[in-house]
Structure 1
Amino acid sequence: MPVAADDESGRIRVIGRASQEVAPDFASVEIGVESRGATPAAALDAASQAAKGIVTTAKEMGVADADIGTSAITLQPRIKNVRQPDGTMGEREDGYTASNRVRVRLAEMGKLGELMRRTLDSGANRIQGISFGLRDPAAADAAVQVAAVKDARAQAERIAEATGVKLGTVVSIDSPPRADTPRPAPYGLAMKAAPSRGRTAVPVEAGSIETSAEVEAVFAIGR
């Protein structure tokens, strides 16, 4: 329940809170491949060929070029433990490992499962970093912040009416509230999982994004 108090003489101080749940409008996933080869070139070429397959598959599914990008390329020697003629254990190079990871962002989130399945068929063997988000998170933040300010004013009006005084002008508004003001929930975004609605090629549920905001508002008591 929102906290309100007469903090100073002639003033009403309140904490306004608001939250809303919105559906994400894009999904992002990192898909890659790890390949081995006897030489650096052989390992890197194999990884590069599979990465091209990931990009081609994404484009065939209608993903724009701007939503496809390389996130990491690595190449390193493989080390093998071997027993030396004198009986001690040593190390020696045993070929090379290369990896290539591609970040794909999908507006049609219902195709995420199909994308992962098809890229695996084209040579990918790594999937990680699945996330969901908003292309314009500032708009969601602004809307919920306005709602928090309205909540603060509504609280102040109720307090003024209950105490038989007139609500005056706004003295100050802090968003988020000052650090020394107790508040139970943080300001920001949080993912909320959705219940499963059925199976796809690779079951993925976007859930919803909960946006919340708090403001500390101080009102003068009118004359």
Structure 2
Amino acid sequence: MRFFSALAVPVLLFTVAALAMADDETGRIRVIGRASQEVAPDFASVEIGVETGGATPAAALDAASQAAKGIVASAREMGVAEADIGTSSITLQPRTKTVRQPDGTMGERDDGYTAGNRVRVRLAEMGKLGELMRRTLESGANRIQGISFGLRDPAAAETAVQVAAVKDARAQAERIAEATGVKLGTVVSIESPPRAESPRPMPYAMAMKAAAPRGRTAVPVVAGSIETSAEVDAVFAISR
């Protein structure tokens, strides 16, 4: 689902230009066209992992690896494609603990090793995200972080708002030409500086909440929407 931001019109609105001027000396009209749209994300990405301890490096790493296999297996069971499952990090480091020395001072002492394994899962069926996190916790995961939402084809959204911004610029120029009693000519130049996408913290059509079996609580996840905007600096000739 895709919709343009609006104030008075519920479906479509092109932001009125901040700069519009007719220059009789140069015979040109310059305007700033702007447009924005909010698009529902089409995938969710989450990093799920495990951190375990062991007396030896091998013991710690083996425990983390076993739990990571459970995370991957849970994702596969839910129909996540292999291309959307990948290891994001593996860590192993010595662990220490604070102890009191015989002389009464505090010091550090070796206390085995800590290993970590994190898996990044990208899920197209966002309604299953909460259930995925619950299942992976039951399979041994104890870390969830980095939940994000995105578009598989962000270029399409960027192109749409860029075209809308150009149309906005032309509409403004036509209004200015009509108001000043001149005829709008051809485009002299158009500059379109890049504008970054920015997720907006607003709810999408529904909370992405999976049904939970008895005795379990589903993890509610709200996707929100992704806003894409564009701006063009357009110069039109005045036709004599």
TM-score normalised by length of structure 2: 0.85
Using the aligned pairs only, state the percent identity. 82
CA deviations over 1:142-171 (Å, ceiling 9, x no partner): 111011001101100110000000111111
CA deviations over 1:20-68 (Å, ceiling 9, x no partner): 1111110000000010111111111000000000000000000000000
One-letter identity of the residue aligned with 2:66: Q
Match of 2:7 in 1: none
Give the deviation of 1:213 after TM superposition: 0.5
Give the deviation of 1:82 after TM superposition: 2.1
Q: Distance in 2 between matches of 1:24 and 1:196?
A: 11
One-letter identity of the residue aligned with 1:202: V
Q: Distance in 2 between matches of 1:204 and 1:99?
A: 25
Q: Does 1:85 align with 2:106?
A: no
2:197 aligned counterpart, secondary structure: strand
Match of 1:206 in 2: 223
Q: Does 1:67 align with 2:84?
A: yes
Give the deviation of 1:90 after TM superposition: 2.1
CA deviations over 1:78-100 (Å, ceiling 9, x no partner): 11122223333322211111110
Q: Distance in 2 between matches of 1:196 and 1:118?
A: 25
Q: Distance in 2 between matches of 1:196 and 1:86?
A: 64
Match of 2:199 in 1: 191
Matches within 5 A, 1:120-199: 120-176=137-193, 187-192=195-200, 193-194=202-203, 197=206
TM-score normalised by length of structure 1: 0.91
> Are 1:75 and 1:97, in contact at CA under 8 Å, matched by a contact in 2?
yes
One-letter identity of the residue aligned with 2:35: A
Q: Distance in 2 between matches of 1:34 and 1:90?
A: 25
One-letter identity of the residue aligned with 1:17: R
> Are 1:196 and 1:205, in contact at CA under 8 Å, matched by a contact in 2?
no
Give the deviation of 1:118 after TM superposition: 0.5
CA deviations over 1:89-112 (Å, ceiling 9, x no partner): 322211111110000000101000
Q: Distance in 2 between matches of 1:173 and 1:196?
A: 36
Q: Distance in 2 between matches of 1:169 and 1:65?
A: 51
Q: Distance in 2 between matches of 1:106 and 1:17?
A: 33
One-letter identity of the residue aligned with 1:76: Q
Match of 2:3 in 1: none
Q: 1:195 to 1:107 in 2, by over 3 A?
A: closer
Q: Does 1:30 align with 2:47?
A: yes
Q: Distance in 1 between matches of 2:226 and 2:149?
A: 8
Match of 2:10 in 1: none
Tell me the C-alpha RMSD between the 2 structures: 1.6
Q: 1:66 to 1:195 in 2, by over 3 A?
A: closer
- The runs of at least 4 consecutive aligned structure 1 residues that moved more than 6 Å come to none
Q: Distance in 2 between matches of 1:142 and 1:73?
A: 38
1:188 aligned counterpart, secondary structure: coil
Q: Distance in 2 between matches of 1:79 and 1:203?
A: 37
Match of 2:9 in 1: none
Q: 1:133 to 1:212 in 2, by over 3 A?
A: same
Which moves more between the two structures, 193-202 or 44-53? 193-202
Matches within 5 A, 1:101-120: 101-120=118-137
Q: How many residues align?
A: 214
Match of 1:2 in 2: 17
CA deviations over 1:118-143 (Å, ceiling 9, x no partner): 00011100000000000010111011
